[in-house]
Amino acid sequence: MNFIKTAIEGVYIIDPQVFKDNRGYFFESYSKRSFEKEGLFYDFVQDNQSKSSYGTIRGLHFQKGEHAQAKLVRVLKGKVLDVAVDLRSSSPTYGKFVAVELSEENKLSLLIPRGFAHGFAVLSEEAIFTYKCDNFYSKEAEGGIRFDDKDLNIDWKIDLSKAILSEKDKYYPSFKEFKTCF
């Protein structure tokens, strides 16, 4: 595994070593030993999976307080633009984001520490997306920021007027209205 630092402290792109032969391919998608060798100590306790069609945006979501979550995310099928927004008030990159294309072809993962809002846009006909989380989900601790926030100015690589959204994602506060809890 190759751990690639991004412009935001704590966010890593993980590029696995892929072994291909006439049967297909094999790779380690996660290794606690490899992470700890890089100084990354996470105890992932919950795996989630979603399936979405082209133009879907899921996010920007986070869990507050004691329910905050670090996530290790990747795509099993299709392609997405994955986004992590720094919400850590003491961070020099507060309000900045990392955007990475994750796909079944590139097999990259993105490690997102606690204190970030996370979302993705589906760029392929459909995508199957998986999340490893280091804390259990709590409905009461849900939070979010508008996906189309003008100050964040995220280029989701799709036509936002045709984006497929959940009802709650349409009404999250803007970044300016948001009061950080991290």
Phi, psi of 175 (to 5 degrees): -65, -40
The active-site residue, picked from 42, 61, 118, 172, is 61
SS (H, E, C) the chain: CEEEECCCCCCEEEECCCEEECCEEECCCCCHHHHHHCCCCCCCCEEEEEEEECCEEEEEEEECHHHCCCEEEEEEECEEEEEEEECCCCCCCCCCEEEEEEECCCCCEEEECCCEEEEEEECCCEEEEEEEECCCCCHHHEEECCCCCCCCCCCCCCCHHHCECCCHHHCCCCCCCCCCCC
CA pair distance 166, 57, nearest whole angstrom: 8
Instruction: List the beta bridge partners of residue 39.
Output: none
The active-site residue, picked from 12, 42, 118, 131, is 131
Residue 67 annotated in active site: no
| Active site amino acids | 61, 131
